[in-house]
Structures are given as C-alpha cells and as structure tokens.
Structure 1
Amino acid sequence: MTTNTNIQPFTIEIPQHEVDDLKLRLQSARWPATPAVDDWSRGVPVGYLKELAAYWADGYDWRAAEAELNAIPQFTTEINGQRIHFFHQQSAEPNALPLILTHGWPGSPVEFQALIGRLTDPVAHGGDAADAFHVVVPSLPGYGFSTPLGPAGFNLFGVAQMWAELMSRLGYERYAAHGTDAGSGVTGMLTMIDAAHVVGAHLAGVTASAPFAGPVSTDGLSESDTKRAETFNRYLEDGLGYLVSQSTRPQTVAYGLNDSPIAQLAWIVEKFAEWTDPDKKLPEEAVDRDQLLTNVSLYWFTESGASSAHALYEGMQAWKAMLAQQSGGGDWGGDDNAESSEWSADDSGDAAAAWGQFTPPPTGVAVFGAETAIKSLVDPAGAMSHWVEYDQGGHFAAMEVPELLTADLRAFFQPLR
C-alpha cells in the first residue's frame, strides 16, 4: 500500500443503536393497502416486500456482512473537498495490472464484492497468474461512505478527475478502468482526461440511447438489436419514474428514503426486479439476497439514498448544460449548481487538448442479457476494439454473473498489459 499520508485506513463500524433502530423501524412499518392486483405492474408488490423486509429485520445478519466487507482493505482520502471511500485489494502477483471499478445507481462497491478475489487471485479462480489485477473500488461522491457531497457537487467529468488523482496517489502510472451505469460514463471520461495513464476502458450497463433522447428506431436493426431497442423504448414509456423524480425533485424524494427503510428497500429492489436477467422472476433469483440487502443496508446506514438522489440531480444538470453548450446554448451551468460544479467549458477545452496529445486508449463493451446497448448506435464508427453480447445477466452483471464479467475483463485487458 502507498505511504501517501493523504490516504487513511478505514473500517466500517455501524453503531449498534443504528442497527437496532433499523430493525425497530422495519418491524413497526405502516404498510399501504394491498391493491386488487398485487403484482409488479404497479411497482413492488406489498406481499413480496413484507416478506423481504421481515427477512431484513430478523434473518439477515448485518454484522456478518460488515465483517465480510472489512476483510477487504479500505481507505478514505479527500480530493477537491470530497471525501472518497474506496476498497483497495492488491494482488500477490508481481505483474498485476491496476484496475479501477466504478459502480452506478443503485449500486455501490458492494456490487463488485464477488469480483475482487477473482481479479486479484486468478489462479484460485481457474485463471492464469498473468491475468491478475490490483483492484481499486471507490464509492461515487454521495454514495456509501463517500458522503456527504462535497462543495464541487457531482458530475461525471469531475468524478473522473478525482479518480485520476486517486490512482496517482496510489502510485499507479498505468491502469485499467471498468464502469457500469453512471460508472461507465466516469470511465469514458477517464479515457479523455487521463489518456496518458489509462491503458483501456471496459464498459457495461450501457444503454441504447440517452434516457430523454426519445425512442430508438428499429429500422435496419437485426433481430437481437430490435429486441434491445424495443426493451429500451418500453423503458422510456414506463420505467423513467425514478429518474424523473430524482433528477427534478431530489429533496422531496430524500425525505422518504432517509426516514423509512421500507421506502429505501422498495426504491432499490424495484430496479433489481426490472433490470436483472429477464429469465429470473424475482430479484433474489438473479442476485444473492444477502448481498442485495447489504447494498440496501449501506444506503440506509450512510443516508446515501438522499445524497445519491442529489448526485443524480446534479449530474443531470451538468449533462443538460453540456448539451446546451454543444448546441450553442450558452454556459455549461444553467442554475445555481453551475457555480459549484467542476464541469466547465474551460475544463472541456483542457480535456480536449489533452485528448489530442495522446492516442485514445482502446474501449470495450460487454452487453449482458437484459441490457439495451446496440453497437450500431453506441459505436457507429466501429472504433471499439471489443464488443461482446451475452444471453445471461443484466444491469448488475458483477452480482448476477461475476464469472462472465471476470472472463470478459481478462480477455479485453490481456493484450493491453
């Protein structure tokens, strides 16, 4: 481990009174009336959530989960006024390649728990020593123990700047990057702002188009791509409620997420029901139930349901400002958040200049069963060196099919070492 004094060891230690309070709130929840049809058509079914909440209160063991997480070396550091928490598991293999993994919403570093051993110790998991990685897994600002949100707020470009600084502090001159969901955006930005050090970018959780860009045309698409386009278009019709709420009224949403573990549980579980492998009927058929509840518990104990909603809001504001700037609409920032955002036209110009000084690192994409990425739309110029589609898994591939994601990471980065 680096001796950088800006980096401090960290141990998760949730006070017992908070664990007891969670259990009490779950046991004394006031449940809504059960609708005439108690299925997933109107959101998370009452009957299903009652059973899951009862298990969270009386079957799930937070202390066991906490111990498992604390078995992974963890640290914090402050970058640009933002506390960043991260896992850092180094491989025993001398030629291991550093790899930074970035989660999205509603994920956390917990999402990558099953990957860390596979990546750092490939021999123990059926791989070759030459495929070893040193693994760094930070929590996005506003998520987990990277709270509270710092004065710079949240945008993908600013987070990528933090990640570049983090890897520099760790002493990594060359490193690989993987991201999913919002983490894929951060990873893509890393290839632009830190091209001299990033050997390649591997992405998952990529969608067919931007959420508010309108439906995707199926004209000229293959049968498999047509199905992905239709899935994406259905998502635009009835799956954007969470995004609209958090990107326009995060504070209103925050009250329920911060005060009610039932609300926080439903908010996250709905996405594990909708975004995981479509052949799996229930979330716990797609992912381990305890790991899912560890992820939800992390949101609850760190109060990051609220702060991640604000992070999404600020990220969307930065994205809209970027689009306005690109279309000649003026400054990057269109509201008060612009003053606190690290994203600016000057930053973009500096990044573009830096990008022009280096050969862009290779980019690869893994598309899992429930995902909607379409190569002709995501990569119309055919510039990506790696594009693999799987018929299993979904948006949470690291939890659903860790062995497939591990194999894809090994295959993509092997020639880039």
Structure 2
Amino acid sequence: MTTEQFRISVSDDVLEDLRDRLNRTLFTTASDSTFWLAGTDPGQLRELVTHWADGFDWRKAETALNTYDHRIAEVAGRPVHFVHVPGRRAEGAPAPLPLIMTHGWPSSFVEMLKAADRLADPAAYGGDPADAFDVIVPSLPGFLYSALPDGPFTRRRVAESWHELMTGTLGYERYGAFGGDIGGGVTQWIGALYPEHVAGIHLTSAMVGADFEKRPATPEEQAYIDHLKAYDVGDQGYSEIMCTRPDTIAAALADSPAGLLAWIIDKYRDWSDCDGDLESRWDKDTLLTVATLYWVTGSIGTSFRQYYDYPLNKPVPTINVPAAVTLSNELAFKGLPRSLTERLCTDLRHWSTPERGGHFMSHEEPEQVADELRAFFRPLRSAS
C-alpha cells in the first residue's frame, strides 16, 4: 500500500468566516463567583476569543505544522492521517525502532510532536543517537483529517487499523506503541492482539479492566476503585451528554467557535497538571492551534463517536508483551496501585509516578516522556 503526502491548507474564506463568528460572539456570565467552579470562565474565554479573532496568526501555526511530514493512507477502506517523524540513524547503529504514538480526547496529533522530535533525534537534545525512534503519530478516526471507521468506533478496531498501518502500509515488522486516554486503550489492544510484532507498550493512563470475580480486589485496589467512582460523579457530565446525545451538543459546537473553544479548554485546564492556571501550561497560541484544527475540519462531532460507541468496547485480553506505565498526574489516577495494572499486564517492567504531566503528558512534559520511552525500550530494541 502507498501513502500520499498531505499539507494542511485552510482557505482564506474559512478563516474569514471564523473571524466573523468570533467577533459576533455572545458571552454568558459566570454561574458562580468562584473562578472556573461552574465550568469555563467567561472572562478567560473572552480573552482567548478576542486573541483568536485579532491576535492569533493561523498562517504562522499552519507553516510550523507543515514542517512535518504529513501523510494520508487508506486503512481498512478509510483515510487515516498521520505524521511521520523519521528517526535519525547514527552511523554504525541499528535502524531506529518504529513507534506509534496515539493521542486521546480532546487532543490531536499536535500533542505528540515535541516528544516525537526528541525521540526521532535524541542526539539533538543531548541524548544517545542509538536511542532513536522512527515515529508515527496518527490522528484517531473521526479526529481532524482521519475518517470515522466503517462501523463502530472501538479501541480494538482502531488497534487493528493501526497494526495494518504499521505493518501493511509502512512495512514495519516490529514496533513499539505508546498512548494515554483513548490512545492508551488502543495501545493496550495492540499489545494484546499482536505480541509477535510488538516490542512493548507504554501507557500514561493505566485503565482498570480487571476481572475481580476470580480474584477479589485488595483493600488498596478497592480504595482506588471507590476514589475513581467518586471522582466521576463530579467529572462525568461532559461524557454523559457525549455518550447519550452527542449530536445535540455537536450542533452547538459546530456552529460556534467560542463554544467549541470553551468545551475544549475546560478539559485542558481540568485534566492537565496546571494547578488550575490554564496558561501556566498552555500559551494562547497553542490552545488556539488545537481549537482551529477542530474548527476547520468540522470534526468535533465525529470526535464524540468513541464516546457514543463506548459500550461496544470489550474487556482487553491479558497483555503478555513487555509493558510500562508513566502515570498521569491527574486526579483520576491518584493512588492507582501498580497491582491493578499487573492484573492485565503480565510483564510490567516499568512503573513510574513522576507527579508531573497530566492527561496531555506528551504535550506538557515532552522531555519526560521521551526519557521514559527511551529507558523502557532500550533493552527491547533487539528482537532476540
């Protein structure tokens, strides 16, 4: 199979329409005097919308994104967008290890780029050139430039597509896989389904999918499960509507760029390791680059499909390939015991809780992610 080169190119008409909509935004008032307590703060949203309309330079962002090698491949009959960051091979060293990095929601390929640069050319960042990776960063189905699958969106279906992309389209015989959130679920399925091809898997969000009927939860495990349930009570409002009425909220967000931005930055603030200060982690232009990509592709609604189809996901089978976890420093994973992951991963070789970097760890802490991936995969590079 072949791939086609792709460039991000947004027409002037689309940008003019976006600017016009932004300038006509109607803002709400805060429902609570406590900053952000009731959701995205209207004042901070107004600042971002104003900058989006009058200060943000999309063409500069577009040019920077197009310095990467973007490709479109047909996988399982559907177009898949991915970025290829080729590994820089050191003289006399083995070929870089292929690595597929999968983002989550409400994220994009942009999350992985800084870490991918460091992984592809470690020597440029003071590392060992022998640790180079050949990095593939796909856009999840329904996100940005990748089409929805022909059928339900499940983690297993995406894992099957990613394996076809890596082996059938790109010709890699052996590769590693990395991801968090949705990408973590996909990465788990890759490890479970293709042990003969997968050198190892690395996760930033260790999902709980254990069968407690055969072996009851320990007190420590039960305490974490109870914590997660309590956390979900206050956090799951966004997912409840996307799981049950995605088209209702999508209609609003597809028509209002300010509404789209509010929906996205609510999670960037809540799930990142920013201590409530959104712009301590994300400068305005970074947030607006992500929001603009969602807007110009009209893909916020299709990004909800994995929520609507979530009940169709089956439990992940036992994973026997080498596994690693660098645990996200977000409230949902506070206190998650290693033993829960060991119920699923029989060969858990690396467990790290750096307490830096949240839901978007590769974007928040790219050097940390690169270091962790290098350390985990270093002894796994050879198939022997």
Q: Structure 1-normalised TM-score?
A: 0.82
- Pairing of 1:283-298 with structure 2 (within 5 A): 283-298=278-293
Tell me the residue number matched to 1:364. 324
Give 1:245 deviation, angstroms: 0.8
| Partner AA of 2:79 in structure 1 | R
| Partner AA of 1:313 in structure 2 | Y
Give 1:304 deviation, angstroms: 1.1
- Pairing of 1:222-241 with structure 2 (within 5 A): 232-241=228-237
Rounded to whole Å, the distance in 2 between the matches of 1:251 and 1:382 is 36
Tell me the residue number matched to 1:82. 78
Give 1:205 deviation, angstroms: 2.7
User: What are the ranges of 5 or more consecutive residues in structure 2 without an aligned counterpart?
Assistant: 211-216
- Does the C-alpha gap of structure 1 residues 76 and 375 become closer, same or farther in structure 2, counting only changes over 3 Å? same
The question of whether the paired residues in 2 share the 8 Å contact of 1:84 and 1:145 is answered with: yes
Q: Percent identity?
A: 39
Secondary structure of 2:37's match?
A: helix
Tell me the residue number matched to 1:26. 22
The question of whether the paired residues in 2 share the 8 Å contact of 1:180 and 1:204 is answered with: yes
Rounded to whole Å, the distance in 2 between the matches of 1:374 and 1:246 is 29
The question of whether the paired residues in 2 share the 8 Å contact of 1:208 and 1:374 is answered with: no
1:233-261 Cα offsets, whole Å, 9 max, x none, are 44212100111111111111110121111
Aligned pair partner of 1:256 in 245, 248, 252 = 252
- Does the C-alpha gap of structure 1 residues 234 and 65 become closer, same or farther in structure 2, counting only changes over 3 Å? farther
| Partner AA of 1:166 in structure 2 | L
Tell me the residue number matched to 1:318. 312
Give 1:263 deviation, angstroms: 1.2
Secondary structure of 2:290's match?
A: helix
Tell me the residue number matched to 2:337. 374
Point out the more displaced range, 263-272 or 150-159.
150-159
| Partner AA of 2:306 in structure 1 | A
Tell me the residue number matched to 1:332. none
For the pair 1:305 / 2:304, whether they are aligned, the reply is no
Give 1:378 deviation, angstroms: 2.6
Give 1:139 deviation, angstroms: 0.5
Rounded to whole Å, the distance in 1 between the matches of 2:189 and 2:323 is 12
1:311-345 Cα offsets, whole Å, 9 max, x none, are 3212x1312xx36xxxxxxxxxxxxxxxxxxxxxx
1:164-201 Cα offsets, whole Å, 9 max, x none, are 11001111111110011000111111112222111000
Rounded to whole Å, the distance in 1 between the matches of 2:218 and 2:57 is 47
The question of whether the paired residues in 2 share the 8 Å contact of 1:110 and 1:291 is answered with: no
Secondary structure of 1:42's match?
A: coil
For the pair 1:164 / 2:198, whether they are aligned, the reply is no
Tell me the residue number matched to 1:344. none
For the pair 1:416 / 2:376, whether they are aligned, the reply is no
Give 1:100 deviation, angstroms: 0.3
- Pairing of 1:4-403 with structure 2 (within 5 A): 4-5=1-2, 7-37=3-33, 39-93=35-89, 95-147=95-147, 149-168=148-167, 169-207=169-207, 219-220=219-220, 232-277=228-273, 280-314=275-309, 316-319=310-313, 322=314, 360-370=320-330, 372=333, 373-380=336-343, 383=346, 384-403=348-367
Aligned length: 366
- Does the C-alpha gap of structure 1 residues 392 and 81 become closer, same or farther in structure 2, counting only changes over 3 Å? same
The question of whether the paired residues in 1 share the 8 Å contact of 2:119 and 2:133 is answered with: yes
Rounded to whole Å, the distance in 2 between the matches of 1:177 and 1:282 is 31
Secondary structure of 2:201's match?
A: strand
The question of whether the paired residues in 1 share the 8 Å contact of 2:185 and 2:207 is answered with: no
Give 1:380 deviation, angstroms: 3.9
Rounded to whole Å, the distance in 2 between the matches of 1:259 and 1:103 is 25
Rounded to whole Å, the distance in 2 between the matches of 1:300 and 1:193 is 35
Give 1:218 deviation, angstroms: 9.6
- Does the C-alpha gap of structure 1 residues 27 and 364 become closer, same or farther in structure 2, counting only changes over 3 Å? same
Secondary structure of 1:307's match?
A: helix
